[in-house]
Structure 1
């Protein structure tokens, strides 16, 4: 494991680690909590991004210091964890082991998980797999039942989840082109065309900064997105009945990936779940409404 210090204006301490996993080297950043006696102390907040993200997606939530350590992971295949990523072994179980291996190497016995989109799905699976070590889960617009069905039967799901099906088919096509497909995504992501393409994911597209839109284009990974879609297509959601910790599950009022029925099914499956629909918000609540998301997180962690 290699470590180097990285400075940023919005953190007191941020250390960058490169940790080996079975899916390839994983880049992780750790911020020490206020008043914690060591870099690995207490129960950290662990942030898991979605398929169009990296650790940086959570920046709007992290403007103020926390009493908990924060662990910000670039999941294998995304962000700075792309070099050497073994996507041929990608699956929910292997991704879970990658995350828990990171946390074990950092000497954290328990954790609070915060996941967006795919990261929310992964957080729920980790909670089901490691119930004694998961203190809480906050799933922000988790891609669950509807997206799983759409990944399994895209044509039948086109009318209900057109944004996901369209993106999945596009990403599959681009992934087939290899490096050329990734280059095309990067090229488009740096142009004004990216704004209209991403507009379905936000309640107020004109209100999103150009930096946010460029970041989503920069973090898009066609092969990784396609691997994640394959992994969730035949998932057994009954596993989530074994989750023991408190769970917060949110969706945006205009969310195109997480439907109201997804939250209803989560409430019927997960024992201790609070579901919240965030008004004036799309799929990226932690970007569009970070103050409200932070209040919800603090309320859950204070219980």
Structure 2
């Protein structure tokens, strides 16, 4: 019998998927609307979905820490850190939770994982939401890409990583202002990074997963409606890459968000929730055959 870590939040649970222990947040568990699967990004966690769940109370949200992050298992085999490891895992997780059909929300690097998932399972996933996604090799002006260019210095850099450095990086890069970072979120990320073996796993993600599964050939295979949200002040994934997504997708609604950085789902959950609710209503009205590129301002 496996021993799971102690939950640090009342909505946090653990489940065994194959040989991996998955930490996930089950938010609004009795809601009757279309369930949502939230897939976080680099050095992220399912904890990020908590503010959004407070605004989407009609929807059950499953927000896992994907393997290699948070309180989930952290495989030591570098070959695990490929997109092909994650797609079947997310499907099995939702099957285990008896959720056959669900909207997928992917943030940052999680947007790449979510796109592969949507392309592979259109019967399960009627629509997709991407928030500041990292999808292409051409997105070479972001700090994740620059990290991967360090070669052997990646190991050296991670050997110097510590809670103070990680805290500063999150505050300075991911959010619009350091004051916008919730302390409880920071504590969760830092504890999982430095007390749960996360630093070594994040190094493997940096060296392997970031390079894998770029979306140039994947996005045209997505037949579902897609909502694309992007903070205009995103310093991690620059908004000028948004057209690379919209021109490859069929039914895509794109909205830029003023005064928002890389974490709008945490900084402005009410606004993001409004876009998601409107999107869900809209895709019921418009057929999948209609190609509609929306644009708007938050």
Q: Which of 128, 141, 147 in structure 2 is aligned with 1:137?
A: 128
Q: Which of 222, 239, 242 in structure 2 is aligned with 1:243?
A: 222
- Residue 255 and residue 55 in structure 1: after superposition, are their counterparts in 2 closer, same or farther (change >3 A)? same
**Equivalent-residue separation in structure 2 for 1:78 and 1:225 (angstroms):** 12
Unaligned runs of 5+ residues in structure 1 are 37-41, 151-156
- Residue 193 and residue 239 in structure 1: after superposition, are their counterparts in 2 closer, same or farther (change >3 A)? closer
Given that residues 55 and 269 in structure 2 are in contact (C-alpha distance below 8 angstroms), is that contact kept between their aligned partners in structure 1?
A: no
TM-score of the superposed pair, with normalisation by structure 1:
0.77
Q: Report the Cα offset of residue 302 of structure 1.
A: 2.6
Q: Deviation string for 1:63-101 (max 9, x for gaps)?
A: 256223221111111111134464422211221111111
Which residue in 2 is equivalent to 1:26? 22
**Equivalent-residue separation in structure 2 for 1:109 and 1:171 (angstroms):** 41
Give the paired residue count: 273
Q: Which of 90, 109, 112 in structure 1 is aligned with 2:103?
A: 112
TM-score of the superposed pair, with normalisation by structure 2:
0.78
Which residue in 1 is equivalent to 2:203? 222
Which residue in 2 is equivalent to 1:204? 177
After TM superposition, the structure 1 stretch with the greater mean CA deviation from structure 2, 279-288 or 85-94, is: 85-94
Q: Deviation string for 1:42-82 (max 9, x for gaps)?
A: 74111111112111122221225622322111111111113
SS at 1:144's partner residue? coil
Q: Give the RMSD, CA atoms, in angstroms.
A: 3.2
Which residue in 1 is equivalent to 2:65? 74
Please say if 1:279 is aligned against 2:258: yes
Q: Which of 274, 278, 288 in structure 2 is aligned with 1:299?
A: 278
Given that residues 131 and 230 in structure 2 are in contact (C-alpha distance below 8 angstroms), is that contact kept between their aligned partners in structure 1?
A: yes
**Equivalent-residue separation in structure 2 for 1:209 and 1:15 (angstroms):** 18
Please say if 1:167 is aligned against 2:147: yes
Q: Report the Cα offset of residue 169 of structure 1.
A: 4.6
SS at 2:126's partner residue? strand
Given that residues 33 and 65 in structure 1 are in contact (C-alpha distance below 8 angstroms), is that contact kept between their aligned partners in structure 2?
A: no
